[in-house]
């Protein structure tokens, strides 16, 4: 049998078999690479969409925080005037309710900030 291993026809057949294996592996690798590139492309698209969504969310939150601050500041100013009794005395119940409104407005202002 050792003579067959050196036989040129046998060596040629083995070489052709190995070449086919290499070609099959190369084709599989190319297909895998195409799949990887497609996934990277999809990830890039999703990353862009995520960046856009994050930017929109940030703009929305900035706009809403501004819109919330205006009435909060007004509520805080009015409660301060009422507690300072600028327009006259308050009953005990009125003072309790005004302080509740002031404290709630302060908590809301902290959340917005």
Between 64 and 104, the more confident residue is 104
Domain that holds residue 19: 2-112
Residue 10 has pLDDT above 70, yes or no: yes
Token pair listed for 102: 């002031």
Structurally, the chain folds into a number of domains equal to 1
Say if pTM beats, i.e. exceeds, 0.75.
no
Contact by Cβ (8 Å): 98, 80: no
């Amino acid at each position: 049998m050792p003579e067959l291993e050196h036989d040129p026809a046998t060596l040629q057949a083995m070489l052709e078999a190995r070449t086919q294996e290499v070609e099959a592996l190369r084709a599989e690798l190319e297909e895998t690479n195409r799949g990887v590139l497609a996934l990277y492309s999809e990830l890039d698209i999703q990353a862009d969409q995520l960046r856009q969504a994050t930017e929109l969310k940030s703009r929305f939150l900035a706009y809403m925080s501004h819109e919330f601050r205006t009435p909060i500041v007004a509520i805080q100013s009015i409660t301060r005037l009422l507690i300072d009794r600028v327009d006259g005395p308050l009953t005990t119940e009125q003072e309790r309710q005004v302080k509740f409104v002031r404290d709630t407005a302060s908590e809301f202002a902290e959340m917005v900030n």
